[in-house]
Chain A
Amino acid sequence: MGRRSLLFRLRAGAIFLVFSGLFSLCGVWYTLDWLGGKAKDLTTETSSLLQVTRKIPEMSLKVGSFPARLLDSTQTAELAEMRRETQITFSEIIPLASLVGENEGLDFKSGQSAFQDLLAVQEKFIAESTKIDALVNAEILRLNRMSRAIRQARSSVMLDFVTAAAETSERQSSVNVLFEFSEFESNVTTLIVLTQSLPTLPAEAALGLRSNVIRQIDAMTTTLGRLPESSERSALAKDMNNYRAAFLGLGGGFDMVVTLVTLEQSRRALLDQAIGFVGTLVDWSENVTSKSTADFEMALVNIQNRIAAARSIGVTVTLFFWIGCVLLFWYLLEMRLFRRLAGITGHIREMNDGHLSTALRVSGNDEVGEVEEAVDRARILARDLTDRNEELHRFAYVAAHDLRAPLRAVKSLISWTIEDHGDVLPDEARENLDTMDARLTRLSELLAALLDYARAGQVEEEIGVFDLTEFASDLRQVYFPDKNFEILIAGIPPVIETYPTPIQTILLNLVSNAIKHHDRPDGRIVLDAAFTPTGMRFRVSDDGPGIPKKYQDRIFVLFQTLKSRDDVEGSGLGLALIQKLAISFGGSVFVLSNPEVARGCVFEVHLPFGAAVKPFTPKEIAA
Chain B
Amino acid sequence: MTDKSRVTFLIVDDDSVAVMAIKRTLRKLRLTNPVEVARDGQEALDLLQGNGISPIKKPYIILLDLNMPRMSGLEFLAVVREDKELANSVVFVLTTSDAPSDIAAAYRHKIAGYIVKENASETISTAISMLDSYTEIVSFDK
- Chain A residues bordering chain B, tally (CB within 8 A): 14
Chain B, 1-42, contact with A by CB distance < 8 Å: what is the 0/1 string?
Answer: 000000000000001011011001000000000000000000
Across the interface, do B96 and A412 meet the contact criterion of CB distance under 8 Å? Answer: no
Across the interface, do B120 and A401 meet the contact criterion of CB distance under 8 Å? Answer: no
- Chain A residues in 8 Å Cβ range of B130: none
The main secondary structure of chain B at its interface with chain A is: helix
In this complex, what residue of B is CB-closest to A441? B119
Across the interface, do A405 and B120 meet the contact criterion of CB distance under 8 Å? Answer: no
CA of A202 to CA of B3 in the docked complex: distance in angstroms? 185
A404 partner, pick from B20, B21, B96, B100, beta carbons under 8 A? B96
Across the interface, do B15 and A412 meet the contact criterion of CB distance under 8 Å? Answer: no
Most chain B beta-carbon contacts within 10 A, residue among A397, A408, A411, A460: A408
Assuming the contacts A413-B17, A416-B24, asked whether A408 and B117 have C-beta atoms less than 8 A apart, the reply is yes
Tell me how far the C-beta of A94 lies from the nearest C-beta in chain B, rounded to whole angstroms.
121
Which residues of B101-125 are within 8 A (CB) of A?
Answer: 117, 120-121
In this complex, what residue of B is CB-closest to A415? B121
- Chain B residues in 8 Å Cβ range of A416: 24
Say whether B53 faces chain A, with CB atoms less than 8 Å apart: no
- Chain B residues in 8 Å Cβ range of A413: 17
Across the interface, do B21 and A405 meet the contact criterion of CB distance under 8 Å? Answer: no
Assuming the contacts A401-B67, A405-B15, asked whether A412 and B121 have C-beta atoms less than 8 A apart, the reply is yes
Say whether A409 faces chain B, with CB atoms less than 8 Å apart: yes
B99 partner, pick from A397, A402, A411, beta carbons under 8 A? A397
Across the interface, do B120 and A412 meet the contact criterion of CB distance under 8 Å? Answer: yes
- Chain A residues in 8 Å Cβ range of B15: 405, 409
Say whether B129 faces chain A, with CB atoms less than 8 Å apart: no
Chain A, 399-428, contact with B by CB distance < 8 Å: what is the 0/1 string?
Answer: 001101100110111011000000000000
- Chain B residues in 8 Å Cβ range of A408: 17-18, 96, 117, 120
CA of A416 to CA of B121 in the docked complex: distance in angstroms? 9
Across the interface, do B96 and A411 meet the contact criterion of CB distance under 8 Å? Answer: no
CA of A401 to CA of B24 in the docked complex: distance in angstroms? 23
CA of A260 to CA of B100 in the docked complex: distance in angstroms? 155
In this complex, what residue of B is CB-closest to A416? B24
- Chain A residues in 8 Å Cβ range of B97: 401
- Chain B residues in 8 Å Cβ range of A402: 67
Across the interface, do A405 and B96 meet the contact criterion of CB distance under 8 Å? Answer: yes
Tell me how far the C-beta of A454 lies from the nearest C-beta in chain B, rounded to whole angstroms.
10
Assuming the contacts A401-B67, A405-B15, asked whether A412 and B99 have C-beta atoms less than 8 A apart, the reply is no
Tell me how far the C-beta of A35 lies from the nearest C-beta in chain B, rounded to whole angstroms.
86
Across the interface, do B21 and A412 meet the contact criterion of CB distance under 8 Å? Answer: yes
- Chain B residues in 8 Å Cβ range of A405: 15, 18, 67, 96
The main secondary structure of chain A at its interface with chain B is: helix
B17 partner, pick from A397, A412, A455, beta carbons under 8 A? A412
Tell me how far the C-beta of B60 lies from the nearest C-beta in chain A, rounded to whole angstroms.
25
Tell me how far the C-beta of B29 lies from the nearest C-beta in chain A, rounded to whole angstroms.
15
Across the interface, do B100 and A401 meet the contact criterion of CB distance under 8 Å? Answer: no
CA of A333 to CA of B67 in the docked complex: distance in angstroms? 59
CA of A152 to CA of B114 in the docked complex: distance in angstroms? 195
CA of A408 to CA of B120 in the docked complex: distance in angstroms? 6
Across the interface, do B67 and A460 meet the contact criterion of CB distance under 8 Å? Answer: no
Across the interface, do B67 and A411 meet the contact criterion of CB distance under 8 Å? Answer: no
Tell me how far the C-beta of B120 lies from the nearest C-beta in chain A, rounded to whole angstroms.
5
Tell me how far the C-beta of B95 lies from the nearest C-beta in chain A, rounded to whole angstroms.
9
CA of A113 to CA of B18 in the docked complex: distance in angstroms? 155
Chain B, 72-113, contact with A by CB distance < 8 Å: what is the 0/1 string?
Answer: 000000000000000000000000110110000000000000
CA of A460 to CA of B97 in the docked complex: distance in angstroms? 16
Across the interface, do A409 and B121 meet the contact criterion of CB distance under 8 Å? Answer: no
- Chain A residues in 8 Å Cβ range of B24: 416
CA of A387 to CA of B99 in the docked complex: distance in angstroms? 20
CA of A411 to CA of B21 in the docked complex: distance in angstroms? 11
- Chain B residues in 8 Å Cβ range of A411: 120
Across the interface, do B17 and A409 meet the contact criterion of CB distance under 8 Å? Answer: yes
Chain A, 446-473, contact with B by CB distance < 8 Å: what is the 0/1 string?
Answer: 0000000001000010000000000000
Across the interface, do A409 and B18 meet the contact criterion of CB distance under 8 Å? Answer: yes
Across the interface, do B100 and A460 meet the contact criterion of CB distance under 8 Å? Answer: yes
- Chain A residues in 8 Å Cβ range of B120: 408, 411-412, 415
- Chain A residues in 8 Å Cβ range of B18: 405, 408-409
In this complex, what residue of A is CB-closest to B122? A415
CA of A397 to CA of B102 in the docked complex: distance in angstroms? 12
Across the interface, do A401 and B96 meet the contact criterion of CB distance under 8 Å? Answer: yes
In this complex, what residue of B is CB-closest to A397? B99
Q: Mind listing 21 A-B residue pairs with CB under 8 Å?
A: A401-B67, A401-B99, A402-B67, A404-B96, A405-B67, A408-B18, A408-B96, A408-B117, A409-B15, A409-B17, A409-B18, A411-B120, A412-B17, A412-B20, A412-B21, A412-B120, A412-B121, A415-B121, A416-B24, A455-B99, A460-B100
Which residues of B come within 8 Å of A, CB atoms? 15, 17-18, 20-21, 24, 67, 96-97, 99-100, 117, 120-121
Can you add 9 more A-B contacts, CB < 8 Å, to A412-B20, A460-B100?
A401-B96, A401-B97, A402-B67, A405-B18, A408-B96, A409-B15, A413-B17, A415-B120, A416-B24
